[in-house]
Copies of this chain bind each other. A is one copy, B any other.
């Protein structure tokens, strides 16, 4: 005969590496049993059995025989007997999947009780009231969780055995007795309640409550299996990306009772403080109670430290268990335990969830303690958590309160981390005015444009109705380290009426609102925030130093101003990977000259405007070079379409219509009208159907070479000036939007001659080079050609993602990608995490081809993905030299780069 497949494992037969088969809870119960901790005896039915059940709709043949066999072992160990009216064995039946899904699936306690065994329990404990209370609870939970799911009523309808129906009976009884709390009910009352419960069950099911413990057990196993596919669990798995075909294990364990008097109790504790990371046991304990009482929140538990005073012996035992488990698992443990009449039982252990702050401190501490290696410490911290540490965030309790109060208004795209409260203001000028006057302002716009930057600078946070992760608002906010929520399509911003509407509510100008840039949430009213204290993050600095030793990828920052560059260096950036020159053009003192340049009718007019801009640009670059002290600075020549520097077409049109009316009466208005009409005609001639793919980037440089020649002159002059002051300079001039090698060749020839000419004039040489963005698919596809003319590549993965998908970041991110991710058509927003299959393939191939054609080619990335840990891992593998991201994301990127190096090392070793 063939040996039947083993479907049931005693705890002593498993271990912690059997999560696939036994689920996380089962594997850990087995492990604890194995290392001799006081775990109540039990066994686990495998996930495989669950999958068989789900596939066939019935329990695998022979499963219940195996269960019975194992129950016999439990009976031997406990000296009790399942269904014995004198000395009944009671068990809990719990789900436990490979990945923790807390509270999503079903649990049954006290299984084995019936009209007979309840009396045995009463005798055994000498506490009739306790026994009937347990029975009452069992009846209601079993009905809700098991019976209502497995049976139909005689009329074919689903039975209504919701917990609320049992609550009604209980409440009625309490009323009859004039009782306020359950505890005031007597054993007799509870007995009557049990009877009524059973009547309800029989009337709903058309059959009596199953008194047979074995039937109870079989039904409970089936119910737990089925609960894998309840709606709650499916939603949870969808949300967290857990596969649907794993199934759950079932853990059957001898009941122990924390509610057997003052020497009993139950608790949950962490081996370290998971809020702060301090090395201290951290948790709660409730005397004379079962686990569900803690959850129900009726009585307030004591801090675990009080247990130390109250029962030093138990505390010491527990402390010892904590030590063993932490040392064994080499990580902070989250432990459930029960004390039954002075004896400690451990019911569950798992890795403890911790705050960002605690994660860092615990990892660093454990490494110093020698418990884990530095490499493990690095792997233990989520890079995103680090970014959270460096920005203000809402006090979690206050935020929870706001949600409870129904103040959560909407949810948009979480575009820049951090949290902020302030008054809603609907235009940039007013935001600037109020911000400068010391008000905390949240700038709310349909979307932002470069015209809004001055208002953004004075605000505490940005909220837009449209746009995505790489919209103007998002990019600028991240650069500034401002919390930002974009693409919040639920809110309808009405700038004219100075309000936004959201699901029937109106938020007016000066109303307080709060935004959470980590989650995309928008709240009515203020929520207190916790401010980070950078200088206090000693452990973080240490962790990042370790990371720097391990990572291969350089980490640079995107910074347009000396202020940003300084912050970037503080955060550990090794260079500037993207300095955008167009933001400089937007500043109030320059925009008029930029506009003059654009409107120029003759080369002379254009030259005059450029001559005015030259010293200003030179000054910008000097400032950045000073700060960077010889670190590389990649300066991107002008990129956006020219119309972005001119007034908005719609607004201009509206002004002109108004002026036309006024012009009938006022000569002044007539003059203004003719001026505006002139501008309109230029704006109209520059208007494009799809500006993103129009006259911008190097195309602009080729058709209006005077602009980039001026910029090159400004760059080289600035480099000479700073070098003259005794500071080293390394400048890399970057040409955007190249799609054909000839574009780069044409520009490079032209600008190199400008550079050489300036150096001759200045009588000195500076370290400069020319490179290009790889941001069109064609540039990536022809990288081997382009690499021959470039000293460096920088992947512009924002534009590359736009063009590879055909997604306009301004339009599609809110209107298409958000719904797509909700529908599961896209797993992730490709503007947040690099699309490895499509965009990634181009990045990988272009890097390889580029380096093959030009071995000195330096390859980096300056798109938003440069700060995304998952993407950084890909960039490491793809062989890039560095990533560049907003200054605030630099620390996270350093960590992610180290993790990428570690992961790649593991992969190499396992190859």
- Of the candidates B691, B805, B841, B842, the one whose C-beta lies within 8 Å of that of A690 is B691
A-B contact pairs, 15 of them (CB 8 A): A661-B661, A689-B691, A689-B811, A690-B690, A694-B812, A699-B812, A703-B815, A739-B807, A740-B805, A776-B806, A777-B777, A777-B806, A778-B838, A781-B838, A799-B806
Q: How far is the CA of A815 from the CA of B837 in the complex (A)?
A: 33
Which residues of B sit under 8 angstroms from A811, Cβ to Cβ?
688-691, 693-695
Q: How far is the CA of A808 from the CA of B815 in the complex (A)?
A: 21
- Asked if A841 and B806 sit within 8 Å, CB to CB, the answer is no
> Does A819 sit within 8 A of B, measured CB to CB?
yes
With both beta carbons as reference points, the residue of chain B lying nearest to A799 in the complex is identified as B806
Which residues of B sit under 8 angstroms from A653, Cβ to Cβ?
650, 653-654
Q: How far is the CA of A819 from the CA of B841 in the complex (A)?
A: 32
> Does A600 sit within 8 A of B, measured CB to CB?
no
With both beta carbons as reference points, the residue of chain B lying nearest to A649 in the complex is identified as B650
Which residues of B sit under 8 angstroms from A694, Cβ to Cβ?
808, 811-812, 815-816
Known A-B contacts A742-B826, A806-B739; the reply to A781 vs B693 at CB < 8 A is no
> Does A151 sit within 8 A of B, measured CB to CB?
no
Known A-B contacts A742-B825, A815-B694, A838-B777; the reply to A688 vs B806 at CB < 8 A is no
- Asked if A695 and B806 sit within 8 Å, CB to CB, the answer is no
Of A661, A699, A703, A807, which is in contact with the most chain B CB atoms at under 10 Å from its CB?
A: A699
Kindly provide the distance from the CB of A773 to the nearest chain B CB, expressed in whole angstroms. 11
Q: How far is the CA of A164 from the CA of B873 in the complex (A)?
A: 75
Which residues of B sit under 8 angstroms from A743, Cβ to Cβ?
825
Which residues of B sit under 8 angstroms from A688, Cβ to Cβ?
808, 810-811
Which residues of B sit under 8 angstroms from A689, Cβ to Cβ?
691-692, 808, 810-811
> Which residues 650-709 in A have Cβ within 8 Å of B in the complex?
650, 653-654, 657, 661, 688-695, 699, 702-703
- Asked if A805 and B781 sit within 8 Å, CB to CB, the answer is no
- Asked if B799 and A776 sit within 8 Å, CB to CB, the answer is no
Q: Mark A727-770, 1 if CB is under 8 A from B, else 0.
A: 00000000001011011001000000000000000000000000
> Does A48 sit within 8 A of B, measured CB to CB?
no
> Does A321 sit within 8 A of B, measured CB to CB?
no
Q: How far is the CA of A785 from the CA of B775 in the complex (A)?
A: 24
Kindly provide the distance from the CB of A742 to the nearest chain B CB, expressed in whole angstroms. 4
Copies of this chain present: 2
- Asked if A804 and B777 sit within 8 Å, CB to CB, the answer is yes
- Asked if A804 and B816 sit within 8 Å, CB to CB, the answer is no
> Does A802 sit within 8 A of B, measured CB to CB?
yes
> Does A824 sit within 8 A of B, measured CB to CB?
yes
In the complex, given contacts A692-B806, A739-B807, A777-B777, what are 20 additional A-B residue pairs having Cβ atoms less than 8 angstroms apart? A653-B653, A654-B657, A689-B810, A690-B692, A690-B693, A690-B810, A691-B811, A692-B808, A693-B802, A693-B807, A695-B812, A695-B816, A740-B805, A743-B825, A776-B805, A776-B806, A778-B805, A778-B806, A781-B841, A803-B806
Task: Give chain A's interface residue range (CB within 8 Å of chain B).
Answer: 35 or more
Residues of A within 8 A of B (CB): 650, 653-654, 657, 661, 688-695, 699, 702-703, 737, 739-740, 742-743, 746, 775-778, 781-782, 785, 799, 802-808, 810-812, 815-816, 819-820, 823-826, 835, 837-839, 841-842
Kindly provide the distance from the CB of A358 to the nearest chain B CB, expressed in whole angstroms. 38
Q: How far is the CA of A737 from the CA of B807 in the complex (A)?
A: 10
Q: How far is the CA of A689 from the CA of B694 in the complex (A)?
A: 12
With both beta carbons as reference points, the residue of chain B lying nearest to A837 in the complex is identified as B782
- Of the candidates B693, B739, B826, the one whose C-beta lies within 8 Å of that of A838 is B739
Kindly provide the distance from the CB of A434 to the nearest chain B CB, expressed in whole angstroms. 28
- Asked if B746 and A781 sit within 8 Å, CB to CB, the answer is no
Q: How far is the CA of A894 from the CA of B825 in the complex (A)?
A: 40
With both beta carbons as reference points, the residue of chain B lying nearest to A744 in the complex is identified as B825
Which residues of B sit under 8 angstroms from A661, Cβ to Cβ?
661
Which residues of B sit under 8 angstroms from A702, Cβ to Cβ?
819-820, 823, 825
With both beta carbons as reference points, the residue of chain B lying nearest to A801 in the complex is identified as B778
Known A-B contacts A739-B805, A805-B776; the reply to A837 vs B746 at CB < 8 A is no
Which residues of B sit under 8 angstroms from A746, Cβ to Cβ?
823, 825
Kindly provide the distance from the CB of A703 to the nearest chain B CB, expressed in whole angstroms. 6
Kindly provide the distance from the CB of A44 to the nearest chain B CB, expressed in whole angstroms. 36
Q: How far is the CA of A841 from the CA of B781 in the complex (A)?
A: 8
Of A695, A778, A782, A825, which is in contact with the most chain B CB atoms at under 10 Å from its CB?
A: A778
Of A661, A746, A803, A842, which is in contact with the most chain B CB atoms at under 10 Å from its CB?
A: A803
With both beta carbons as reference points, the residue of chain B lying nearest to A467 in the complex is identified as B689
Q: How far is the CA of A511 from the CA of B743 in the complex (A)?
A: 41
Known A-B contacts A782-B838, A826-B742; the reply to A812 vs B777 at CB < 8 A is no
Q: How far is the CA of A820 from the CA of B701 in the complex (A)?
A: 12
- Of the candidates B654, B777, B820, B835, the one whose C-beta lies within 8 Å of that of A803 is B777
Of A661, A781, A826, which is in contact with the most chain B CB atoms at under 10 Å from its CB?
A: A781
Which residues of B sit under 8 angstroms from A693, Cβ to Cβ?
690, 692-693, 802-803, 806-808, 811-812
With both beta carbons as reference points, the residue of chain B lying nearest to A778 in the complex is identified as B838
Q: How far is the CA of A691 from the CA of B653 in the complex (A)?
A: 21
- Asked if A804 and B803 sit within 8 Å, CB to CB, the answer is yes
Which residues of B sit under 8 angstroms from A703, Cβ to Cβ?
815-816, 819
Of A661, A691, A812, which is in contact with the most chain B CB atoms at under 10 Å from its CB?
A: A812
With both beta carbons as reference points, the residue of chain B lying nearest to A695 in the complex is identified as B815
Kindly provide the distance from the CB of A555 to the nearest chain B CB, expressed in whole angstroms. 28
- Please give me the 3 A-B residue pairs with the lowest Cβ-Cβ distance, nearest first: A694-B811, A690-B808, A689-B810
Q: How far is the CA of A787 from the CA of B523 in the complex (A)?
A: 45
Q: How far is the CA of A299 from the CA of B785 in the complex (A)?
A: 57
Kindly provide the distance from the CB of A651 to the nearest chain B CB, expressed in whole angstroms. 11
Kindly provide the distance from the CB of A608 to the nearest chain B CB, expressed in whole angstroms. 24
